[in-house]
Amino acid sequence: MAQDCSPPGDRAELDRIVDYRGRFDLSRRRYLVLGGGQGMGRQVSHALAQIGATVIVVDLDRDRADHVCAEIGPAATAEQVDATEDADMAALAERAGELDGVVDVIGMARYAPLLDITDDDWRWEEGIVLRHAVLALRHFGARLRDRGEGSITFVSSVSGLGSSPVHAAYGVYKAALGSLVRSAAIELGPSGIRVNAVAPGFVVTPRISAILDSAALENTRSQIPLQRLTLPADVASALTFLVSDLARTITGQVMVVDGGATNKYPYDMSGF
């Protein structure tokens, strides 16, 4: 059923205090999380389930998806899919059935100086950063359009908003993702579909914590105005807000979640 986008009828409607808790309640809603088997995807899968949603946890690694579903319980089911393959995503959309939204957290970087980036590097980065987003919009956007409402929310990066050494390929495709979000918001908005992204700065994922020592983490923390490192749960919190009805008129936006780091000038991303 399409959402009611008509203007308020009278002053009483404008003065009415809304049920804000209700706007954050996702009971009786179904969401699909691409890349839900670890890190930010695991956290946002838990977050959505905790506020009432049922969740389809999708990952390239079935064991990871199964593990997250076991943590969550009956509200979650697992799917193993290569989100960069068109046929796989089409089949996933068919199996998933009616959804209220999709959260896509897939992404990874290969850092290299611009002149050293190979054709294989460019193709790999395009697939892991952008192609799955295009396919998510193609297959799930069409279903949400037919339904008349919903949301699609991505994870971008501050690397798509600024430049720094060795981030060229990653930054190019994250910048393209931001443009895709804006285009999708314009085209799908009349169908009641909101499209947004969260752009984290440096995030202490399990993979990062395994390769950086405490001194490197402290050096990064010291560059952040809030003096606080961003965790996967912080990104998941922003994603959950954008999914909820608290953000019902927010679309086409890339929300920065970086402790204020991009407000500094000069802002050096090389340490990230």
Q: Where are the alpha helices (DSSP H) in 52-131?
A: 62-72, 86-96, 119-126
Nearest-10 crossing angle of helices 119-126, 168-188: 30
What per-residue string of b and e applies to 144-183 under the rule 16 or more CB within 10 Å gives b? Answer: bbebebbbbbbbbbbbbbeebebbbbbbbbbbbbbebbbe
Task: Return the number of other C-beta atoms located less than 10 Å from residue 23's C-beta.
Answer: 13
Q: Which strands, in side-by-side order, build the sheet including 54-59?
A: 76-80, 54-59, 30-34, 101-104, 150-155, 193-200, 254-257
- Helices (H), strands (E): how many in the chain? 12, 7
Q: Which of 49, 100, 52 is nearest to 70 (CA)?
A: 49
- Residue 139 and residue 153 in contact, taking contact as beta carbons nearer than 8 Å: no
HSE, side-chain direction, 13 A CA sphere, residue 42: 17
Whether 170 is catalytic is yes
Helix (H, G, I), strand (E, B) or coil at 199: strand
Tell me which of 170, 173, 265, 267 is the catalytic residue: 170
CA–CA distance, 166 with 271 (Å, rounded to integer) = 10
Q: How far apart are CA 103 and CA 118, in angstroms?
A: 30
Count of Cβ atoms closer than 10 Å to residue 119 Cβ: 7
- Active-site annotation, residues: 170
